[in-house]
């Protein structure tokens, strides 16, 4: 027993081995081959992307090719696609020496996640019981991108502290949990959540926070020197911020109803985001000596309004309603960075690199609540009878649901998202604690050196010199380094 305990302790406490030369290729190859097999068995084109579309058009009296769903959704899809790969990717380049990992691992796990999401979401939402096939079209691609967004949010909480293999595992389970949670919220509970305040942001945020909590690193301060930005890495991160900010109206409107649904969702999100920016700048300036703005707030809190408009974007929340939501979110999210993040790190032992609690989890919850209230307050006066039915899909088995009930179900959906996020994250976090995934040691975090071949770089952080009365040049190749010191 003592031996066993000792053995266990040795096993868990042995020095970290960050060599992923076998594990990363193995995971990539095996899972990609699995994808190919599963796609071969299950996935086919839907009627709008199949060559039989010409017959389908004739049978359904569709007058023009322009009514193919492709033309309703493809521009929004591309905007969402940019948000996933450039938006999330570049937002995570802000660390001075983790830009490769930020944008590069985001690229890897998103590419894997969208494939797995097509399968998982397909099984739950569009498996044809007769043929046993899932058919996909442009809306499936958008939903796959959405699903992956949840995992990328979770990555934000763990940025710099996990290995790419861990991220692949995080994504595998994250997508799986997402599909189940989404099925419960959207199909069983029949809550509306077009832009995913609950389904994507609340879930993703808490999923990441719970993982980060389980993976708590008591000696992370040893990597403190790299847990910060440099001037140009902050500018790179603004690329991510702006592409997220600009395309968020597309995100929230991408899968809403054709016509007024998409139109209204875009307007509401546009307004909510504009309002958030002003209050973010205000609180950021108010909180600093001499009113100086902090790039962390500008890069992140300005987006909270888009998160919080996710559920209510397609409702008749009215333009001023969107402004109010954005107004509050800018304040709360910036205060989150100022007050909550340090508190969570110290007291709750949650190390949240990108502050996803302030940008996703909390605004997501706000969005869920706003959605519930707005739904409960809906009236036929404002929506019109048909409008009310269309907006809330009071059809089929939900034909008798009232707006009050709908509001309650929206709130129930929010709870499901939180439970799945925290519960799922705790379990996945435990799996990720196994000492087999190649994660870095506490004094080795936030460093691209661990997983990337880095170029010789004149911008690299210069080494601490120990000099004496002899000529010292740390780097013998002077043409590539910043300095030269000589003494006679």
Give whichever of 74 and 123 is closer to a second copy, judged by the CB atom.
74
At its nearest, how many Å lie between a second copy and the CB of residue 359? 16
67 near a second copy, judged by CB under 8 A? yes
Write out the binding residues for a second copy, residues 330-359 only, by CB under 8 A. none
Q: How far is the CB of 317 from a second copy (least distance, A)?
A: 10
Token pair 């990337």: residue: 452
| Binder among 130, 290, 399, 476 for a second copy (CB under 8 A) | 290
Residue 2 or 455 having the CB closest to a second copy? 455
Q: Which of residues 150-189 bind a second copy (CB under 8 A)?
A: 164
CB 435 within 8 A of CB 393: no
Rounded Cα distance, 126 and 485, in Å? 68
Q: Can you tell me the distance from the alpha carbon of 144 to that of 20, in angstroms, rounded to the nearest whole number?
A: 27
292 touches a second copy (CB under 8 A): yes
Q: CB nearer to a second copy: give 218 or 291.
A: 291
- 370 lies in the site for a second copy, by CB under 8 A: no
Output the smallest distance, CB 67 to a second copy, in A. 6
Site for a second copy in 417-436 (CB under 8 A): none
SS3 (DSSP) at 292: coil
Q: Is 396 among the residues that bind a second copy (CB under 8 A)? A: no
Residue among 3, 13, 14, 21 that touches a second copy (CB under 8 A): 21
User: Which residues on adjacent β-strands are paired with residue 485?
Assistant: 472
Instruction: For residues 104 and 454, give the distance between their C-alpha atoms in angstroms, rounded to a whole number.
Output: 13
Strand partners of residue 472: 485
DSSP structure string for 362-378: HHHHHHHHHHHHHHHT-
Among 9, 221, 232, 349, binds a second copy (CB under 8 A): 232
* Least separation in angstroms between CB 409 and a second copy: 20
**Per rule CB under 8 A, is residue 442 in the interface with a second copy?**
no
Interactions with a second copy, residue window 85-144 (CB under 8 A): 85-86, 89-90, 93, 96-97, 99-100, 103-104, 107-108, 111-112, 114-115, 136-138, 141
Site for a second copy in 25-54 (CB under 8 A): 25, 28-29, 31-33, 35-37, 39-40, 43-45, 48-54
Supply the minimum distance, in Å, between the C-beta of residue 180 and a second copy: 22
Task: Tokens for 52, please give them.
Answer: 């039989």
User: Counting contacts by CB under 8 A, is residue 324 touching a second copy?
Assistant: yes
Alpha-carbon Rg of the chain, whole angstroms?
A: 24
Q: Is 451 an interacting residue with respect to a second copy (CB under 8 A)?
A: yes
Q: Which two tokens stand for residue 448?
A: 């691209």
DSSP secondary structure of 71-86: HHHHHHHHHHHHIIII
Nearer to a second copy, 260 or 345 (CB): 260
Give yes or no for a contact between 181 and 121, defined as CB atoms under 8 angstroms apart.
no
Contact 417, 369 (CB under 8 A): no
* Residue 164 vs residues 17, 25, 36, 355, 455: alpha-carbon distances, Å: 13, 10, 21, 20, 20
Report the C-alpha gap between 474 and 292 in whole angstroms: 37
């Amino acid at each position: 027993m003592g031996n066993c305990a000792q053995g266990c302790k040795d096993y868990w406490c042995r020095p970290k081995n960050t060599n992923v030369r076998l594990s990363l290729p193995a995971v990539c190859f095996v899972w990609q081959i699995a994808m190919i097999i599963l796609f071969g068995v299950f996935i086919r084109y839907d009627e709008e992307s199949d060559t039989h579309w010409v017959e389908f058009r004739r049978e359904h009296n569709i007058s023009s090719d322009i009514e193919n769903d492709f033309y309703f959704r493809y521009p929004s899809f591309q905007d969402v696609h940019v948000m996933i790969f450039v938006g999330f990717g570049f937002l995570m380049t802000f660390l001075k020496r983790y830009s490769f990992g930020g944008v590069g691992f985001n690229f890897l796990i998103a590419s894997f996640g969208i494939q797995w999401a097509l399968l998982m979401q397909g099984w739950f939402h569009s498996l044809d019981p007769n043929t046993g096939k899932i058919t996909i079209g442009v809306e499936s691609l958008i939903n796959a991108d959405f699903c992956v967004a949840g995992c990328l949010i979770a990555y934000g909480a763990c940025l710099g502290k996990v290995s790419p293999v861990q991220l692949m595992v995080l994504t595998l389970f994250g997508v799986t949990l997402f599909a189940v949670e989404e099925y419960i919220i959207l199909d069983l509970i029949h809550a509306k959540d077009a832009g995913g305040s609950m389904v994507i942001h609340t879930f993703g945020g808490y999923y990441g926070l719970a993982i980060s909590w389980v993976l708590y690193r008591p000696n992370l301060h040893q990597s403190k020197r790299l847990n910060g930005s440099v001037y140009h890495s902050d500018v790179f991160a603004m690329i991510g911020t702006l592409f997220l900010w600009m395309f968020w109206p597309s995100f929230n409107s991408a899968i809403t109803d054709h016509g007024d649904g998409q139109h209204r969702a875009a307007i509401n999100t546009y307004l909510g985001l504009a309002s958030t920016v002003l209050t973010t700048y205000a609180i950021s300036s108010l909180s600093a000596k001499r009113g100086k703005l902090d790039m962390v707030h500008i890069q992140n809190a300005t987006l909270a309004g888009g998160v919080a408009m996710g559920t209510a974007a397609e409702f008749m929340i009215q333009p001023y309603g969107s402004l109010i939501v954005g107004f509050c979110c800018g304040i709360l999210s910036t205060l989150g960075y100022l007050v909550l993040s340090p508190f969570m790190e110290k007291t709750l032992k949650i190390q949240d690199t990108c502050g996803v609690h302030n940008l996703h989890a909390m605004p997501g919850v706000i969005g869920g609540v706003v959605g519930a209230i707005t739904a409960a307050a809906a009236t036929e006066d404002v929506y019109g009878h048909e409008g009310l039915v269309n907006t809330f899909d009071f059809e089929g088995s939900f034909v008798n649901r009232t707006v009050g009930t709908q509001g309650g179900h929206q709130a129930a959906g929010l709870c499901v998202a939180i439970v799945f996020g925290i519960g799922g994250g705790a379990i996945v976090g435990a799996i990720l604690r196994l000492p087999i995934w190649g994660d870095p040691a506490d004094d080795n975090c936030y460093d691209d050196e661990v997983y990337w071949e880095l170029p010789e770089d004149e911008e690299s952080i210069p080494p601490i010199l120990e000099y004496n009365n002899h000529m010292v040049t740390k780097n013998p190749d002077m043409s590539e380094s910043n300095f030269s010191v000589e003494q006679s």
